Chain A
Amino acid sequence: MALHKVLGTETEYGIVVRGDPGFNPAVASSLVVNSYPGERVKVQWSYEEESPGRDARGFGHDTYGLIDPEGAVVNSVLSNGARLYVDHAHPEYSGPETYDPLEAALYDKAGEVVMHRAAVAASESAGRQVSLYKNNSDGKGNSYGAHENYLLSRETPFGDVIRYGLTFMVTRQIFTGAGKIGKENDRPDADFQITQRADFFEEEVGLETTLKRPIINTRDEPHGDPSQYRRLHVIIGDANLSEPQNFLKLGTTALMLAALEDGAIPDSLDLADPVEACWQVSHDLSLGRPLELDGGGTATALELQGRYLEWLSKYVEKELDEPVWRQLIAEWERTLTMLSTDPDKLSDTLDWVAKKRLLEGYVERDGLQWTNNKLRALDLQYHDVDPERGLYSRLARRGSMRRLFTDEEIAAAVSSPPTRTRAYFRGRCVSEFAGSLVAANWDSLVFDIGEAHLKRVPMMEPLRGDAALVGKLLDEAEDAADLLRRLEG
């Protein structure tokens, strides 16, 4: 049986300081992170367990002498178990480890609320409006990531992930895209395309995340016991605002990986050229473009996704017959059916279709060209996290986007951690022992309890530290020193 697919998201947000076009994005991002008014602890993020330069294929990587630029900037851990920090020139929210894709989508949505609250507070202290955008491209050749993370067994050969993962990642774009006007990175011209990210992918496999981006990223940094686990770091997705779309993206990918580990994917469906196919799928609004297959013949992205759906429906019936996976299969089936019959009907489900509908409305009503700045502004504004300005939020409030979560559920996920992973322990410690918490990482917490040495609590098992295991202990502990005594006892 495949390893349970613990998963989570990490999103870099676009940032603008209004009235100050020359703003320094690193400084502005630090201001945003420092201003967040919610429950959190500013900590040193300990790096001894992190090794972003380690390569899953087994050889090291030249960092060209660059010291990790994350090291010097502000970091905090939130009471929901997430990390809020500055990554390069963007504020980033890395959601807590979650138990299933529905929960992962919920905590990713909570990140938008966190970012909005941080932006409001930053604007107050700066005396200028700071705006944040949950998107992945500035339309000028610069992209920033929305990454997904999935727990894999160390026994899973990475070659299998590459072999079976490439076609899946390329073809899932038809339902993971957030939509974008135009093309970037020297790809062929397009009025509008399905994804924000596809134009930037130039390699099939590799360790890079900022240039020559690969479809399968080989970063081997498990954030857990390295003898047992891998973490697949997926960098090809778009940031999604639509709740069902995010659930679909995370759920189908987690399911695909579970089935892969169980040997339930009968064919790797190899594409002749996955890198070319990547942008071709994104540029094909007709969803009918045939992609060349490695063994000869062609198939559309939609047809290839249909094969995965067929295999994974059977896999769920046999191995994962739980409500969340049945819901996922139903959502997937509905989406593929509508994409093949009447894609416009998915304007309440997929960001790219919702955005395209708005843009086409303006093109028609006002007779605008696709290169018009008003349309480009609308494209960006769809992603503004401010619920008054953000066009996704406007659509959702009118009932034009399907929701999976209530506002109350999202508010609860901003302050409280998931209960079924180690994020529970981390989040509760932030709420209750903030004064003693001095450093954190995904797989450890470091406490200062007034003794000669700091005390480190390792958390190498992603599913240990959940409410069932440590809830009572946390309820009873009087202070951090008492907690550590009880943990040792």
Chain B
Amino acid sequence: MSDRERGQSEGRRQEETEEQRTDAVETDTDLDALDDLLDEIDEVLEENAEEFVKNYVQKGGQ
């Protein structure tokens, strides 16, 4: 990729980012959207939270 092509591709990314930012603000700032989101998370949250948290032990890291 030439520098110019890179510049264009980055410009495009910036534009996409702008669009997504607008979307996120529109869909998620109101409380209904948060409720909706929490409902979705309810479906995938660990079923046995207590056991999961208890067993999550990570020794020997940097």
Using CB atoms and an 8 Å cutoff, list the residues of chain A in contact with chain B: 12, 14-16, 21, 25-26, 87-90, 102, 136-140, 142-145, 147, 209-210, 235, 244, 322-324, 327, 330, 345, 347-348, 357-358, 361-362, 365, 373-374, 376-378, 380-381, 388-389, 391, 394-395, 398-405, 419
Contacts and interface: CB of A to CB of B under 8 A. Distances in A.
B16 interface: yes
A8 to B, nearest CB: 16
Given A88-B62, A145-B62, A362-B38, 13 more contacts: A14-B56, A14-B58, A89-B61, A138-B56, A323-B6, A323-B11, A327-B14, A345-B25, A358-B38, A380-B56, A394-B41, A398-B37, A399-B24
B48 to A, nearest CB: 9
Contacts, number: 130
Interface string B41-57: 10011100110111111
A373 B13 contact: no
Contact of B61 (A90, A357, A381, A395): A90
6 contacts: A15-B58, A361-B35, A361-B37, A362-B38, A394-B40, A403-B20
A391 B42 CA distance: 11
B10 A102 contact: yes
Contacts of A327: 10, 14
A394 B44 contact: yes
A404 B28 contact: no
List of 5 A-B pairs having minimum Cβ-Cβ separation, nearest first = A144-B61, A89-B60, A377-B49, A145-B62, A138-B58
Interface of B: 1, 3, 6-7, 10-11, 13-14, 16-17, 20-21, 23-25, 27-28, 34-35, 37-38, 40-41, 44-46, 49-50, 52-62
Contact of B24 (A25, A143, A401): A401
**Interface class of chain A by DSSP:** mixed
Contacts of B52: 373, 377, 380
A58 B58 CA distance: 33
Contacts of B50: 373
A345 B28 CA distance: 10
Contacts of A144: 58, 60-62
